[in-house]
Every structure is written in C-alpha cells, then in structure tokens.
Chains A and B, each alone.
Chain A
C-alpha cells in the first residue's frame, strides 16, 4: 500500500514499467477448448512462459460465445481470447472491444508467417486484429479402408458417385452414414458445414461469398437447393444411422465412433480433421482410418476446400498480452501442438515434418494444394445467423421442416439493412473525427 502511494507520488511512467518488468505478471486467456486439447494448448505455451516468466492463465469454456461478451460487458474481460469463430471476433472488433494487432506486429511482419488470404480473413475495417493458430480442414469424408475393401467399395470422385455408393451400401444391408448434430446449445453446426460444402461445390466460390455476405438472401433458390442436396442424404431411408432421430440426438463427437469396431454402425462420416480427436485409442491413422476429400458436385468448381480456424485476439492491451500475441505468430507454438497430432496450421513457416502421421501430412498438403479455399461460412455470418438460426435451422430441416421454411426463418433473423447502415455510418463518423 505504502509503496504504491510512493510510486504515485513520484508519478513517472518509467517507475511503473520497471515495477512490472521486475515482477512479470500473468496473462489471462479464454478459449472454447478444454480437456485434452487444453493440455496440448498449454504445452504449446510453455516455452513462452519459460522465456518470459509470464504465467498464462487459460480458462476453457464450452459457452465461449455467450460468456466472452458477458465478461467484456461486465469489465471482467480476459486479456486474450482464442475465438473459435472470427464472426464473433469481427462483431467485437467493430464494437471497439478488441485491440488492433498493429501495436504488436505490422502487416509486413505478419506476412512472413501467414499467406495473404489468411491475413485478410483476420481483418476488420482494414485493421488486422487476430493471429491464426489452429487451422481446420473441413472437407473430409472419413472411412475405414478395411471395411471398404470388404465391401469392394472405392472412394467416390463425384457427388453422384458418392450417392451411388451410398445406395450400394444400403442394398448390401449396411448403413452408409453416421451423422451427429447434437452439441449443446450449438446443436446443428455439423449440418451447417454440410450445407456450406454443398453451396461451394454446387454454386461456386463467387456465389458462396455472396451468400456469406448476404448479397443474396439466405432463402435464395440455390441455397434451398443446397439444403435439398443435404436432404438427399439425411432424408433417404437407411442412409443415416438412427435416421433423423439419431442425427438430431447423437452428440457430434460420438458420431465418428460408429465407423469402428467389428460391426460398424456406418461406413462414412463427413467431418473436419479435428474428428481425429475422437478416434478410439488403438486406431492407427492411415491404416485403420483414412479420408477422401468431399467429392465435387459441379466440375467447374473442382478441388475446393472448406476450412476453419481458431484465432487469437487481444482484449486488454497489456505488455504481457502483447508478448503472448507476438509469440503466437512464431512457428514454435504451432509446431509443438502439430507434433502432438490433431492440429494443422496455416503458418507457412511450420515445418511439415513435424506432423506425426500420414493423415495430418495429407491434410496439411490438402490445405496448401487446394485451388479454391473458403472459410467456414457460418463463422463469418452475423452471430444471429452464424451462431444462431443457421444452427437451429439445420435442426428444423433435419427434423422435417421444408428447405423453403427453414431458410426463410434463417433469412428473417439476418440483421436487416438499417442495422448495417448504422454500423457504416458510425465508421464514417469515426473517420471524420
């Protein structure tokens, strides 16, 4: 108490800085990952803690999208947040709740580590806010090679081949697909990935961008067509294990387990690379499990890839938070987790040899070789849709609502033009100020 009073009396900033330098503090981080993944993240931050003496206090919560805005509103915000979706980062940045990265790394410095397309994805109003950490490849269909060999099945090249294969499996008395949409109050999201894949492959990247930016309404015919295409899988009798009740009830992480075992529940499962975290323990990647990229629909849009990613952004501008952000851009934390498995990085300086197995190397190659790369659309849409009615709309559609009704309801919740106008006006006002 006395010391701090004396410090105030002297009143120079240098003494304050020295005080923090002598007693390196902590940096608090909030993120959506927990459990085993949390341990891996913390392991990746150990070199930072050892080098700087700063302690990273990580808090993992599965209610991230609800909790972070509440914490910011109540002035109880963590220093750094690891966003599972840039959509929320974007809206918080627009509100001025986040600190631009400029203070830590310039765009040029960042370009040493990340491809231009990824840097653009971390921008809000021409300012970079975030550092990409874990990247995800979503366009993967998992299968067990042994089971495919037994049935004489070949990985399909086109969507029609995939449907024909599914029909063959049903005729052979097997269930082609496992699908689990349950995910607490985020239920439905695995289905949004399906719809995004289909829009991208059916109507192309330009239309995909327009759809994500609301250049076309959500209930546009092409989007409805994508829902119907998903319907060909989830609504065809015998296609999905447990039918629609199974799809709606089974937790998403459990659903891939259906591929394994003596008598597997199903033969194919479409899910991102992070599904590997839910493999049974004794599974050898590349032998017991493999994937083929989601097949093309329209040959004009071949070799397209849907990706996702976790992005770090600063909420409080503290020296410790700045140091952590700078560290996260370097390849070290990426390589540490990559070596553990279940992790891909968009950081170009990461050595491909650190990936522990054939599967992740194959995924990383896919990430660099794809001709059309698009970010997970629901993560870029406004929260009311991307983390709200798009999810619940998928649940409604799978439960039996028509594509027209389901998409109309989602469209109703898209923030209307007047809201977006106020946002634009505000940014203009700020510029003139």
Chain B
C-alpha cells in the first residue's frame, strides 16, 4: 500500500515536472503576447524563458556558494568568526598534501585514460560489424551509480590470506597463477590505482559514446581524399580525425575533470579514505558531517571550488571561441 502510493507520487511528480514546465512556459508566453504591447513584449519575452532557470540557479547554486564561502570564516558551529583559521588548519593538516597528490593522480589518470581509451575504442569500433552491441557493453557501467560500482569492485578486490579460498576475483586469478594474494585496497603503493581503475571503468563508456558520434561526423570525402593521397590509417587518425574532433575531446575532458574533482563516493565506500587514499571531496564530507565542523568543511569546499574555476574559465573561453568561428 505504501509502495503503491509512493509510486503514484513519483509518477505524479514526473508528470507535473515534465508537463508542468512546458505548461508554465506556454502559459507565460501567451500571457505576454496577449497582455503586453508589441514593444515591451520583445524586452520581456527573453526573461520569461531565462527567468525560471536563473531563479533556480540562484537558489540552488549561487546562494549556497556564497553561504559556503561565508561559513568558511566561522567556527565549527558557524557562530564565532575565526578569520582564516579554517584555511590554515586545512592547509597545514598532516594529510592535506596526500589529499592533493591523490586528486592530481585521479585527474591525470582518469581523464587521460578514460578519454584516451574512449577515443581509441570510438575509432576502432567504427569499423566493427556489431558496433552497437559492443558500444552498449562498454557504455553499460555508465548506468551504475558510483556506490553500486564500488560494491561490485569490493568483491573484485577482496583479500583473504594465503591458503584460504580467495573470494575476490583478482586475487583468485593472482593465486591461481601461483603468486601471493595482494591487498589491493590496503597496500599504499597500489590502493589509489585500484580506486582510480573503478572510475575509468565507469567513465570510458561515456567518453566513447560522445567521441564516437564526433568520429562519425568527420566527412567521408575528406578521409577518402587522404587515402587517395596515400595517407596511412595511423596518419589519418593523427592528422585528420583527431584535429577535427578536438572540440569534442576538450568538452569531454573538462566534463571528466569536473566529475573527478567531485569524486568521493568511491573513496568513501571502498577505503573510507584510509591508508593514503583520501581525496578533497571525501575529506569535505567527513569534516562537515562526521566531525560536524561546518567551518572546515566549508573551507575545503571553497578550495575545491577554486580548483574547478580554471577548468570552467577554459571551458567558457572555448565556447566563445567556437561561437566566433561560426
């Protein structure tokens, strides 16, 4: 009974959400066209369309951002002003350097490998007979939530001491080859890479799908002309395909970069940030909700925001450039 009412509520929400939004825009449009004289109509109409999203962005993004910035100068309960103390604490904490190092590791490896692999797969898959099937298989992990993926990978990385039956996939393989089982998640030399692999597994499909459609967008006559001129397939890939789809590569890369900077679920579920695997976002969650220190949590959030800004600026600049090119 409870479930039925929950499902009905969800359906109602979806219906209201999708139909309602259209209804609002449509209604406001009619209102403006009927009620206002032609001159002011042109001035008001754009605001009708932009207004709701500006309003929502203000409520859900701009105000919280300003408030987070404000809170980062206050103590654990947001009551006493402490100046820059939270920033000093965060920047001098013994594990902060490790956290930053890990984030850089994540950024370089996840972005590099998932975009790189995605590109290679996109080009190769273009020539495969069962293209759609292969693509769906690679895209499939995309549909799994980070937490879900982490649970799956816990079983892949599970460790049992030597001699005991291995319940983890990787260690079962390793021991059957005659090696000692490996503590994938607790050995500080490899545990970060073990976590990063999960993210690459999740994101490669996303990169591949976007890059694949870009690869298909490269005109056939250009490729044929190159072949007629005697270019090898590798030359075609490097000199023609890659430059032509560069805008898409950059968009995909920035999306992945922003995603990686936000990652915390994988770390939280797999290792809890222990043994040198902490990242900025998981520290933020811990300071904020486990240690209940709003000041420090907010300070870490601001640092994270500052780290994202250059990426966003680059993104916006490039969009402008593209507009100009058109």
Q: Known: A241-B161, A265-B161, A395-B274. Is A415-B186 also a contact (CB below 8 A)?
A: no
Q: Is the CB of B292 within 8 A of A91?
A: yes
Q: Is B94 a contact partner of A250 (Cβ separation < 8 A)?
A: no
Q: How far is the CA of A422 from the CA of B295 in the complex (A)?
A: 14
| Nearest-CB residue, chain A, relative to B287 | A384
Docked complex Cα distance between A382 and B77 (Å): 14
Q: Is the CB of B274 within 8 A of A246?
A: no
Q: Which 5 A-B pairs have the closest CB atoms?
A: A242-B161, A185-B272, A245-B183, A384-B291, A249-B159
Binding site for B on A (CB under 8 A): 65-66, 69-70, 91, 95, 184-188, 241-243, 245-246, 248-250, 265, 382-384, 387-388, 391-392, 395-396, 399, 408-409, 412-413, 415, 418-419, 422, 426
Chain B: which residue is nearest A70 at the CB level? B289
Give the docked Cα–Cα distance between A100 and B186 (Å): 43
B292 touches A265 (CB 8 A): no
- How many A-B pairs with Cβ below 8 Å? 92
Tell me the complex Cα distance, A426–B271, Å.
37
Contact, CB under 8 Å: A69 / B292:
yes
B290 contacts which of A65, A243, A250 (Cβ < 8 Å)? A65
Residues in A neighbouring B75, C-beta threshold 8 A: 418-419, 422
Q: Are A249 and B185 interface neighbours, CB within 8 A?
A: yes
Nearest Cβ in chain B — how far from A240, in angstroms? 9
A66 near B185 with CB under 8 A, answer no
Contact flag A265-B164 (CB < 8 Å), given A70-B289, A399-B188: yes
The CA of A382 and the CA of B291, in the complex, are separated in Å by 8
The answer to whether A387 touches B161, judged by C-beta atoms less than 8 angstroms apart, is no
Is the pair A187, B76 in contact by a Cβ cutoff of 8 Å?
no
- CB neighbours of B285 from chain A (8 A): 66
Contact B160 A412 (CB under 8 A): no
Assess A66 versus B290: contact at CB under 8 Å? Given A245-B183, A399-B188, A412-B93.
yes
| B273 on interface, CB distance cutoff 8 Å | yes
Which of A91, A95, A187, A415 is in CB contact (< 8 Å) with B271?
A: A187
Contact status A187-B291, CB under 8 Å: no
Query: Whole-angstrom distance between the alpha carbons of A418 and B95 in the complex?
Result: 22
Residues of B within 8 A of A (CB): 75-77, 79-80, 82, 93-95, 158-162, 164, 181, 183, 185-188, 268-269, 271-275, 285-287, 289-293
- Give the residues in chain B near A383, CB-CB below 8 Å: 290-292
CB contacts (< 8 Å) of A248 on chain B: these are 183, 186, 275
Q: Are A399 and B275 in contact (CB under 8 A)?
A: yes
A–B Cβ pairs within 8 angstroms, 28 of them: A65-B290, A69-B289, A69-B292, A70-B289, A185-B273, A187-B274, A242-B162, A243-B161, A245-B181, A245-B187, A246-B160, A248-B183, A249-B158, A249-B186, A382-B291, A383-B291, A384-B291, A387-B290, A388-B291, A392-B272, A395-B186, A396-B274, A399-B186, A409-B95, A413-B291, A415-B76, A422-B77, A426-B79
CB-CB nearest in chain B for A67: B289
Chain B residues closer than 8 Å to A65, beta-carbon distance: 290
Determine whether the beta carbon of A66 is less than 8 Å from that of B289.
yes
CB-defined contacts of B271 to chain A, threshold 8 Å:
187
Known: A246-B159, A246-B161, A422-B80. 13 other contacts (CB 8 A): A70-B289, A91-B292, A184-B269, A187-B271, A243-B161, A248-B183, A250-B161, A388-B286, A392-B272, A392-B273, A413-B291, A422-B75, A422-B79
B-side contacts of A249, CB under 8 Å: 158-159, 183, 185-186
CA distance A250 to B76 in the complex (A): 35
* Among candidates A188, A384, A415, A422, residue contacting B274 with C-beta atoms closer than 8 Å: A188
Instruction: Please indicate the chain B residues that have their CB under 8 angstroms from the CB of A409 in the complex.
Output: 94-95
Identify the interface centre among B76, B268, B286, B291: most chain A CB within 10 Å of its CB. Answer: B291
Question: Contact between B159 and A245 (Cβ–Cβ < 8 Å)?
Answer: yes
Residue in B77, B94, B158, B272 whose beta carbon sits within 8 Å of that of A187 in the complex: B272
CA A242 to CA B187, docked complex, whole Å: 13
CA distance A241 to B163 in the complex (A): 11
Q: Chain A residues near B275: list those with CB within 8 A.
A: 248, 395-396, 399
Partner of A185, one of B77, B94, B269: B269
**Bound Cα distance A243, B181 (Å):** 12
Instruction: Decide if A384 touches B161 in the complex (CB within 8 Å).
Output: no
Task: Give Cα A186–Cα B188 distance, bound, in whole angstroms.
Answer: 18
Is B161 a contact of A412 with CB atoms below 8 Å? no
Task: Give min CB distance, A407 to chain B, whole Å.
Answer: 12
Q: Are A95 and B77 in contact (CB under 8 A)?
A: yes
Give the distance in Å from the alpha carbon of A65 to the alpha carbon of B77 in the complex. Answer: 17
- Look across to chain A and name the residue whose beta carbon is closest to the beta carbon of B158: A249
Q: Which residues of B contact A426 (CB under 8 A)?
A: 79
**Residues of B close to A408: CB separation below 8 A:** 94
What residues on B are CB-neighbors of A418 within 8 Å?
75, 82
Residues of B within 8 A of A187 (CB): 271-272, 274
The distance in angstroms between the C-alpha atoms of A59 and B164, with both chains bound, is: 36
Contact A392 B290 (CB under 8 A): no
- Residues of chain A within 8 A of B94, CB atoms compared: 408-409, 412
> In the complex, which residues of chain B have a beta carbon less than 8 angstroms from the beta carbon of A250?
159-161
Q: How far is the CA of A34 from the CA of B282 in the complex (A)?
A: 25
Q: How far is the CB of A256 from chain B (nearest CB, A)?
A: 14
Measured between beta carbons, the chain A residues less than 8 angstroms from B273 are 185, 392
Complex: chain B residue closest to A73, CB-CB: B289
Contacts of A186 in B (CB 8 A): 272
Q: Please measure, in the bound complex, the distance between the C-alpha atom of A274 and the C-alpha atom of B289, giving whole angstroms.
A: 27
By a CB distance below 8 angstroms, the chain A residues around B183 are 245, 248-249
